[in-house]
Each structure stands twice: as structure tokens, then as C-alpha cells.
Amino acid sequence: MATKIVIDAGHNGLSDPGAVYNGRRESDDTLRLAMAVGEILSRSGYDVDYTRTGNINQSVIQKAQLANDTDADLFISIHRNMSEVPGSYHGVQSLVYDLNGQKLTMAEAINKNLEGVGFRNINVEARPNLAVLRRTKMPAILVEVGFIDNAEDNKLFDTRLDEIAQAIADGIMDTLTSTENEASDGQPAAEKPVDRPLYRVQVGAFYNLQNAIDLEQELKRMGYNTWIVTA
């Protein structure tokens, strides 16, 4: 049976466009790249599913559940990064639940391949608080493909998209063919919900709207449902 891989185009394009800079939306970039990576993997004989193939209202928790429901062997989430000061950072970074197992080997291979395309290789970092890494039962990697507020990273993304897709796909395929699939490499599944009181937590209060938007986007990426209100 072919290895099943779920490719996630980060964010959803409607209620959650991800990072936005000068009219450029992360959700649009991630969809283009996710589809390109999936096409390469499909042509190579892998069974590929997507969390989305267009703009839909979809939470990060729903993305993880989709992968779990399809009994996927691997989950790859495509994102783009953004810095607090536009243009101050550049490069690629991959995030994993913990720094162990096949997912770490694969994340390092993806980063190295993207470095070959022209990106700076930042690192592989453990982020167990991210919903798509925490709630998926299979090995999962979130790849930050350059900074959306960096002109050079955007130029690479736009002019070498096919090479970027191939670099990510090669990192996946090379790792799958050189390592055994480790049953213990998945993340703990989410606990089943039970009836309990509902408590709300406020995080942050700002006079500057953009600061509130930036925090909201970070919390969404961590799997929290958020909204901005005025006092």
C-alpha cells in the first residue's frame, strides 16, 4: 500500500489568511506551493490528500483531524514566516513536535534542500504547542518557506516555485526511502471533550490595532480560536 501523505496549505484563505504584507497573503502562497508539492508526490506514486484545494473556512484543529481520519502516514504543513520588523529576517525554518525520529530527519533534509535553492537555513525547532503538530497522530512537519515581508525571499518564492516544491518533495521522499516508519514517532492524540464549565482567557490589550492583529495570528497558529474586540 502506498504511503499516504496529507499536505496542508497553511491557513484557510477566508477567515484566516495568515500573514499579510503589502497585499500579499500567506494563505495564497501556501496553497500554490502545497498543490505543487502534492503533484510531485502523486506522480512519484504516493497517496496524497490535501487539507484544502481552495479557500475554505477551516480551523487548524480540523486540519489535524482530517489527517487523523484518513489514517495518513505523514503530515506536511506549508507556511510562510513574518517578522515583527518587515525585512529584518529571511530564510526557511521547519517546526516539529519534538526533536526526535523520522520527522526530525525529514525536516533537516527539507531545510537543506531549500538552502540549495537559495534560502538561508535557519533551523529545525520543536514547537509542541502548535495544534497541527500536537494533535496529529502521525509524524508531522510545519515548513516556514521564507519570510513574506522579505523581498529576496519573495523573489525566490515567485521565480523558483517549482524548484522549491521539488526540494520539499525530495526531502520527504529521500527520508521515507532511507528510514523505517517509526510507530512511536507520532504525537499524542487530543483528549476527547467532556462536559465542563467554559472559561474564557483574554491575552493582551493594545491601543495599536496592528499589534492586536499580530497577536491574533500567532494564537491562531497555535490552535486557539480568537477574535478582536474593542473595549
Is residue 76 predicted with pLDDT exceeding 70? Answer: yes
Count, residues in the chain:
231
Backbone φ and ψ for 134, nearest 5 degrees, come out as -80, -35
Residues 143-185 pLDDT 10s = 999 999 999 999 999 999 999 999 999 999 999 998 754 444 5
Backbone φ and ψ for 202, nearest 5 degrees, come out as -95, 135
- Mode of pairing for the β-strands spanning 140-147 and 92-96: antiparallel
**HEC sequence for the chain:** CCCEEEEEECCCCCCCCCCEECCEEHHHHHHHHHHHHHHHHHHCCCEEEECCCCCCCCCHHHHHHHHHHCCCCEEEEEEEECCCCCCCCCCEEEEECCCCHHHHHHHHHHHHHHHHHCCCEEEEEECCCCHHHHCCCCCEEEEEEEECCCHHHHHHHHHCHHHHHHHHHHHHHHHHHHCCCCHHHCCCCCCCCCCCCCCCCCCCCCCCHHHHHHHHHHHHHCCCCCCCCCC
Q: In this structure, what is the dihedral angle of CA atoms 97, 26, 40, 73, given to the nearest 10 degrees?
A: 20
Q: Which of 47, 58, 67, 42 is nearest to 165 (CA)?
A: 42
Q: What pLDDT was estimated at residue 183?
A: 45
Q: What pLDDT was estimated at residue 190?
A: 41
Q: What pLDDT was estimated at residue 228?
A: 66
Is residue 197 predicted with pLDDT exceeding 60? Answer: no
How far is Cα 43 from Cα 36, in angstroms, rounded to an integer? 11
**Could you confirm whether domain 4-185 is CATH 3.40.630.40?**
yes
How far is Cα 145 from Cα 169, in angstroms, rounded to an integer? 13
In percent, the amount of the chain with pLDDT more than 70 equals: 85
Residues 19-36 pLDDT 10s = 999 999 999 999 999 999
- CB-CB contact of 2 with 46 (8 Å): yes
Is residue 124 predicted with pLDDT exceeding 90? Answer: yes
Is residue 202 predicted with pLDDT exceeding 70? Answer: no
- Is the pTM for the entire model greater than 0.85? no
Q: Which of 77, 89, 81 is nearest to 21 (CA)?
A: 81
Is residue 48 predicted with pLDDT exceeding 60? Answer: yes
**Cell numbers 506536511 correspond to what residue?**
76
Is residue 16 predicted with pLDDT exceeding 80? Answer: yes
Task: Pull the grid cell for residue 138.
Answer: 502521525
Mean pLDDT computed over every residue of the chain: 89
